[in-house]
């Protein structure tokens, strides 16, 4: 079976991988300054650029999905109060620290 190539709705080239392939491949363009910082970040974490980008996309999708769930909850129950937000912030900081969650390997 051969892979097919198609254009995504965002302009990226997407390759449909044959059955059994580990993951789909895409091609992206980024600015030179971002590229250098990206390579440095991946190297400092001991992962490939592909793994770093994949994790960043997973993180961004989780944030987007979480914000949508919060908006849905607030639409049904009303907006969170300042006190509720402060307590949530304190709980998150206690769980993950001020620098954010530890990075996965």
What local confidence, expressed as pLDDT, does residue 98 receive?
A: 66
Which residues of the chain are under the pLDDT cut of 50?
Answer: 1-3, 5, 7-10, 12-14, 105
pLDDT at position 24: 85
What is the pLDDT at residue 99? Answer: 66
User: What is residue 8's predicted lDDT score, i.e. its pLDDT?
Assistant: 45
Q: What pLDDT score does 67 carry?
A: 95
Does residue 104 contact residue 52 with C-beta atoms inside 8 Å? Answer: no
Domain that holds residue 98: 47-105
Strands 25-27 and 4-7: unpaired
Q: What pLDDT digit, counting tens, does each position of 61-85 carry?
A: 999 999 999 999 999 999 999 999 9
Hey, is 14 helix, strand or coil? strand
Domain-located, residue 42:
no
For the chain, the domain total comes to 1
Do residues 43 and 34 lie in contact, with contact meaning Cβ atoms separated by under 8 Å? no
User: Would you say residue 21 lies in a domain?
Assistant: no
- Identify whether 74 is part of a domain: yes
The sheet carrying 4-7 orders its strands as 4-7, 13-16, 25-27
- pLDDT of the residue at 20: 66
């Amino acid at each position: 079976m051969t892979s097919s190539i198609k254009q995504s709705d965002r302009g990226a080239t997407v390759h449909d991988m044959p059955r059994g392939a580990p993951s789909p491949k895409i091609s992206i363009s980024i600015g030179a300054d971002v590229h250098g910082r990206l390579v440095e970040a991946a190297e400092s974490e001991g992962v490939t650029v592909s793994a770093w980008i994949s994790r960043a996309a997973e993180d961004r999708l989780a944030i987007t999905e979480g914000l949508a769930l919060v908006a849905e909850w607030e639409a049904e129950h009303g907006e969170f109060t300042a006190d509720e937000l402060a307590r949530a912030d304190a709980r998150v900081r206690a769980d993950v620290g001020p620098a954010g969650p530890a990075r996965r390997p």
